[in-house]
Amino acid sequence: MHRVVFKGTGSYLPERVVPNSYFETIVETTDEWITTRTGIKERRMIASGQAMSDLATPAAQRALEAAGVPPEELDLIIIGTSTGDMLSPSTGCLVQNNLGAFKAVAFDVNAACPGFIYGLAVARKFMQDGSHRLALVVGGEIVSNRIDFEDRATCVLFGDGAGAAVLEAVPESEPVGLPGGLLSAHIRSNGALWELLYVPGGGSRHPPTHEMIDRRLQFVKMQGNEVFKHAVRAMTESAEQALASNGLTSADVDWFIPHQANMRIMEAVAKKLDIPMEKVVITVHKYGNNSAATIPIALDEAVREGRVKRGDLVLCCSFGAGFVWGSALLRY
Ligand code: UT7
């Protein structure tokens, strides 16, 4: 068996900053409502013409540089995204080409907001037997062109970005090297609740037609307060499962990185887990909810700022459309 250690992280945010005041000019909302209900002050959005691989590639390059791993040595590339460049091919293949990582097998995992956690879980399965030594896992999303700028209940929430991690499979018998790595990854889904959060148009159910666009089916539909309740419950349960399965408690956690959808969700989950807010990595105020990108971006920033240090126990959990949810516990 092999341990899966974190060799390096990276992230990329588009340059365009969109403050809450922008939404005051296009829908009936206020900076005060957005701030108090979500914790969001601003978010990043792509420039015209940018696509998912344009964000995922620099995030990956930064992670590879931090890890000291040349791209041609990668064995596996997994992109957690539901907003890839094209319906086909996968964004994984496009990133592989951009990086020149032609030894790797590359594919996408469509798991909405927990896309990075799903990516870690899948990578771990490939790596535990040692058959794939070096992996790149990216969580990235461009939500800004999937939101309806006439729907105040969703348009204020989302942003764009990408984060990445380079992982290495190390034989368990090898005593030296980096700390424990990915201790566990638990993923779950419940397709019965898909209609509470979904993007109906653009796939095979509602292919691109003028009528589909006229019906605004290409945009996110969400029953926010229902999603809120399920998110708090599922993220808490998954985080508890991560700790229990490793014989640890929340007192052992050095840093908690929950999905950054809403400050009130993060506060509720941290409270239920009995984790003080000082241990919670928060980026939602500056990036909003960039879906699969929130956790790897927050992890990368916390590492680069020297908050998350080698050996720290980091607990991550997420929730999103599907419903899908999950947790990852890592000894960085
Ligand atoms: O990343 C995937 C997971 N997604 C999430 O986790 C999102 C989870 N949900 C949420 O974060 C919250 O439910 C929201 C931020 C989306 C909404 O907050 P809420 O406290 O649940 O508000 P609500 O949906 O119950 O709406 C309360 C009121 C409504 O008005 P009435 O019916 O009470 O008159 C809404 O129309 O707030 C109104 N409202 C707004 N008002 C000003 C909704 N959006 C806005 C807005 N500005 N942007």
Query: Which pLDDT score is estimated for 280?
Result: 98
Query: Which pLDDT score is estimated for 208?
Result: 95
Query: Which pLDDT score is estimated for 111?
Result: 98
What does the alpha-carbon distance between residue 167 and residue 136 come to, in Å, rounded to a whole number? 6
- Confidence (pTM): 0.97
225 alpha carbon to ligand 1 midpoint, in Å?
6
Q: Which domains does the chain have, with CATH numbers?
A: 2-171 (3.40.47.10), 181-331 (3.40.47.10)
Ligand 1 pocket residue status of 228, Cβ below 6 Å: yes
38 alpha carbon to ligand 1 midpoint, in Å?
9
Query: Which pLDDT score is estimated for 173?
Result: 86
Ligand 1 pocket residue status of 322, Cβ below 6 Å: no
Q: How many CB atoms lie within 10 A of CB 192?
A: 9
Ligand 1 pocket residue status of 233, Cβ below 6 Å: no
| Beta bridge partner(s), residue 108 | 79
Assigned token pair, 136 = 């790149």
| 313: three-class secondary structure by DSSP | strand
Query: Which pLDDT score is estimated for 140?
Result: 98
93 in active site: no
Assigned token pair, 30 = 């206020």
289 in active site: yes
Give the C-alpha distances (Å, rounded to integers) separating 243 from 184, 187, 278, 298.
9, 14, 19, 20
Query: Which pLDDT score is estimated for 70?
Result: 98
Give the C-alpha distances (Å, rounded to integers) separating 135 from 168, 244, 319, 324.
6, 27, 24, 23
Query: Which pLDDT score is estimated for 174?
Result: 81
Query: Which pLDDT score is estimated for 176?
Result: 67
Query: Which pLDDT score is estimated for 310?
Result: 96
CB 323 within 8 A of CB 193: yes
Ligand 1 pocket residue status of 227, Cβ below 6 Å: yes
CB 294 within 8 A of CB 318: yes
257 alpha carbon to ligand 1 midpoint, in Å?
23
Write out residues in the chain with pLDDT < 70, as ranges: 176
Ligand 1 pocket residue status of 29, Cβ below 6 Å: yes
b/e for 278-313, b at 16 or more Cβ within 10 A?
A: ebbbbbbebbbbbbbbbbbbbbbbbbeeeebeeebb
171 alpha carbon to ligand 1 midpoint, in Å?
48
Q: Quick one: which of 166, 132, 151, 158 has its CA closest to 2? A: 132
